[in-house]
Amino acid sequence: MTDALVKPGLLPSTRLGLALVCFLGTIIIYAVRSNLSFAIVCMVNGTAISEMSDAVSETRQSQCPREVDNSTLYDEKVEGAFIWTKEAQGSILGAFFWGYMSSQILAGYIASRYGGRLVIGLSCLGGAILTLISPAAANTHVFAFMVVRALLGFFQGSIFPAMHAMWSVWAPPLERSVLTGISYAGAQIGNVVVMPMSGLLCKHGPFGGWPSIFYVLGFVALVWCVLWFWFVSDTPHTHKRIKEHERKYIVDSLGKSHSKEKEEHPPVPWGKILTSMPVWAIFVGHFAGDWGAYMMAMSLPSFLKDVVGFELTSMGFISAIPYVLYFIMINVGGAVADTLQHKGVLSTLTTRRLAMILALGSQALFLVLVGFCGCGQETLVVILITLSIGLSGIQYAGFVVNYLDIAPAFAGPILGIGNTLSGFAGILAPMVMGWLTPNGTKEEWQLVFFLTGAILILGTVFFCIFAAGDVQYWAQPENKGPAYIAEAPLLLTDESEKPAKSEDVTSSV
């Protein structure tokens, strides 16, 4: 092994610092994104909505009746000013994803050519401002509120393709699962934080309760933007505080093409991307994983209220429990995946397949089991939901990092396409939830879980059949032809320690 590829410790390192800044950012990004799924419980007047339909009232009264003190129930209950039906609430929750889909591909392309620092920073700044004006928009008109949520989606849609583009020039091949896992694990901590925080602010927050959810998160997002612009650089070349031996390690592990900072960027082969089955395997796995994630993030508070009967404050803390395990499994899964590859136990492709089977398969299984739980089994429901959502975090060692496996030079634009397609899951999931659960009965929620389980299984099967683990020929530097293609499967394996082969892992971004 040459001196160029002597690995500097991950702790401490600049690349780990970047991962931690991304981790804090994704906490805030997801908190801002998912706050509405809980806040909407406080914003709507559930009593008024129930009174609009006698059938709904009768149905809800028959669900798991409990002996409660009326005064306690009155104190716990929070009624908002908005009379939005379940269908309307589904449309409001889905508005975010109309904007989210519209910026993905463009943002990934811009970030791959000009760097992700400015794209991510400005997107988060715009999202912070929109979060701060959300209460005013909601009080103005439901349509104004939906427009603000769609614009928030537009800004946030730029972030993850840009972040993937940054990691294509920052993450050494054998650290990809760990570094991307740390970066994106903040998403689940965002859910952990926002749910109990929202429950407390709904009852005790200033400015009328629920508006304080948006004000607090908007302010925190502004503070993070300052941290981002101060610490982050687009590439190891331009970072002012990175040590030279770490810079050299990153550049050499990715290939000599990264050492030429001003090298002309290769054109994006859109046609080959859209006709590649390994790419579509990622897209299908991505859609299935996001369907499960969006459905549970948006529906969990409503499910716990409708069927299990948890009240507002306890519901916030209980909703957060699964995401603690999710966070743990993202990082454990990433570390185990990198170790298995590094020691030669499993190939890259087998590692990705195993991660998807464990993640989405277990999520489907435990969700279906939740549908068979009855009254008095609240603890079992919480355990099953925690296992379902928590174990699905292993998917980050599956399809998420597979974007970097098969086309590191074009990871940003391809992830943009994948996030655009999976954005339909964000639109359809809350709408389907609203359609399938007009009365909030156990039987209706069973349909939601069965449908979600089927989508998760189908996505996993498709991914396992058509996925790849090596750099595709159209994504290789200079597209060198058959002789180079024959060596491609070795480029992202443990033999990356050999300088002659590691030089061609990826091209300049």
Confidence at residue 177, expressed as pLDDT on a 0 to 100 scale: 75
Q: How far apart are CA 183 and CA 422, in angstroms?
A: 20
Task: Give mean pLDDT, residues 144-161.
Answer: 90
Select from 46, 55, 42, 86 the least CA-distant residue to 445.
86
Burial label, 18 (beta-carbon count in 10 A; 0-12, 13-18, 19+): buried
**What's this model's pTM, rounded to 2 decimal places?**
0.68
Domains and CATH numbers, the chain: 7-54+76-502 (1.20.1250.20)
- Most confident of the ranges 172-181, 414-423, 432-441, 487-496: 414-423
Task: Give mean pLDDT, residues 461-468.
Answer: 96
Q: pLDDT band for position 352 (50/70/90)?
A: very high
Buried b (16+ CB within 10 A) or exposed e, 203-235: bebeeebbbbbbbbbbebbbebbeebeebbbbb
Both tokens assigned to 96: 């975010």
Which residues are CB-contacts of 498 (< 8 A; sequence separation ≥ 6)? none
- Most confident of the ranges 29-33, 64-68, 160-164: 29-33
User: Model confidence over 283-333: pLDDT tens digits?
Assistant: 999 999 999 988 877 777 677 766 666 655 555 567 678 878 888 888 888
DSSP 141: -
Write the DSSP assignment of 286-301 as a string of letters: HHHHHHHHHHHHHHHH
Q: How far apart are CA 239 and CA 251, in angstroms?
A: 13
Q: pLDDT band for position 121 (50/70/90)?
A: very high
Q: How far apart are CA 317 and CA 198, in angstroms?
A: 10
**Which range (115-129, 345-359, 406-420) has the least confidence?**
406-420
Both tokens assigned to 184: 């994106």
Give a three-class secondary structure readout of 107-124. Answer: HHHHHHHHCCHHHHHHHH
Q: E strands of 342-389, at which residues? A: none
Residue 380 pLDDT greater than 70, yes or no: yes
**CB 319 within 8 Å of CB 304:** yes
